[in-house]
Amino acid sequence: MPAAYHTRVSRPLGTLAALFYIFLWASAYVPSKVGVLGSSPLWFLVVRFATAGSLAVLLALALRAPFPRTRRAWLTVVVLGVLGNAIYLGCTYEALRHLASGLGAIVASTNPLVLALVAPWALREPLSVGKVAGLVLGFGGVLAIVLVRAGSGTAEPRDVALAFVGVLASVAATIVYKRWTTALDLRAVTGLQLLAAGVVVLPLAVLTEGAPHAHWSWQLIVSFVYVVLVMSIGASLLWFWLLTHGEASRVSAYYFLTPVFGLALSALLLHEPVYWRDLIGLLAVAAGITLVQRSVPGATRS
């Protein structure tokens, strides 16, 4: 976003907005788990992308947001949609067929750790001693939690690996975003990349899942409305607000709360078990992310 759009707000308001964004991002794993168990996961994503993308594009048109004009700009939007939505959420939803939603949030929280690892090559950000220590702590904490839950059916290695592939795609999207979208209006990009993701996932849904099916319940309906309105549109607009007011860096400062919120919400709403050894790993993840973020300027987004 061009620097002219950045206007500062009060520190308390910026902090509350950043914390709320982190909470929303972590909360997505509970309704996603409900959607995966109650319907065809990829079809759930296709309908989610199509609905949220259409609403977001209509909103962008109503706000008279400028749309991409060059071939390169359109290609950037498509790449963002494929990496940050189609691959990231596609892998996540497939993993959530068996993976506990709380653990899914923990794996996803490694996003800033992976970004710090590749930043020296992708973004020319140095890898300091503090970052290395944070990487070791963060990945060690995730590994400890996975080992504790191995064999329980909620943390099979293949599902954890699939979720991590989604994280890699999300990191790639972050790099694309940081390097090539500064001249694009995010109000238009938000909807367009969702529609692009839907187009990519649609043939995969047809080939792998056949005709769509769902076990309709109020939980499934509420979950779908939540991920469409609150996550795909609401959280994206909040991110846009954070960017335009120069508050995106605060998200990084509180990123360590993502696995905490994710695990707590999963236990509260889905009654997923939490073991005391999970908490030790969680502390290691939080400490690792904190160390990395103290050394990395700017913010990450998935």
Average confidence (pLDDT) over 140-159: 74
Identify the domain containing residue 210 by its residue range: 3-295
Closest CA to 37 of 89, 97, 90: 97
The share of the chain scoring above pLDDT 70, in percent, equals: 86
Total domains present in the chain: 1
Look-up of token digits 């509180």? 254
Residue 302 belongs to some domain of the structure: no
Please write the tens of the pLDDT for every residue from 90-107: 999 999 998 888 888 888
Using DSSP's 3-state secondary structure scheme, residue 296 falls into coil
At what angle are helices 257-270 and 276-295 packed, to 10 degrees? 150
Residue 26 belongs to some domain of the structure: yes
Closest CA to 55 of 230, 184, 174: 230
Residue 211 belongs to some domain of the structure: yes
Residue 301 belongs to some domain of the structure: no
Residue 231 belongs to some domain of the structure: yes
Look-up of token digits 């902090």? 15
Give yes or no for a contact between 279 and 102, defined as CB atoms under 8 angstroms apart: no
End-to-end CA distance of the chain: 17
Backbone φ and ψ of 118, nearest 5° = -95, -10
Burial class (CB in 10 A: 0-12, 13-18, 19+), 2: exposed
Encoding tokens for residue 199?
A: 């187009």
Please write the tens of the pLDDT for every residue from 243-286: 666 666 567 667 777 778 888 899 899 988 887 777 888 888 88
The one-letter code for the residue type at 115 is L
Tell me the Ramachandran region of residue 185: left when phi exceeds 0, alpha when psi lies from -120 to 50, beta otherwise. Answer: beta
Helix (H) or strand (E) holding 195: helix 186-209
Residue 135, pLDDT score:
79
Q: Give the span between the Cα atoms of 129 and 111, in whole angstroms.
A: 19
Alpha helices, H only, 3-156: 11-27, 29-38, 41-62, 71-81, 88-95, 101-108, 111-122, 129-149
Please write the tens of the pLDDT for every residue from 1-52: 343 344 556 777 878 888 899 899 889 999 999 999 999 999 999 999 999 9
Strand partners of residue 214: 39
Residue 300 belongs to some domain of the structure: no
Strand partners of residue 39: 214
Q: Give the span between the Cα atoms of 102 and 250, in whole angstroms.
A: 23
Which pTM value belongs to this model? 0.83
Q: Which of 74-88, 122-136, 241-255 has the highest mean pLDDT?
A: 74-88
Annotate 186-211 with b (16+ C-beta within 10 A) or e (fewer): bbbbbbbbbbbbbbbbbeebeeebee
Q: Give the span between the Cα atoms of 202 and 209, in whole angstroms.
A: 10
Residue 157, pLDDT score:
82
Q: Within a 13 Å sphere around the CA of 132, how many CA atoms are in the beta-carbon half? A: 4
Closest CA to 195 of 46, 66, 49: 49
pLDDT of residue 177 exceeding 70: yes
Give yes or no for a contact between 238 and 17, defined as CB atoms under 8 angstroms apart: yes
Residue 169 belongs to some domain of the structure: yes
Q: Give the span between the Cα atoms of 2 and 10, in whole angstroms.
A: 21
Residue 222 belongs to some domain of the structure: yes
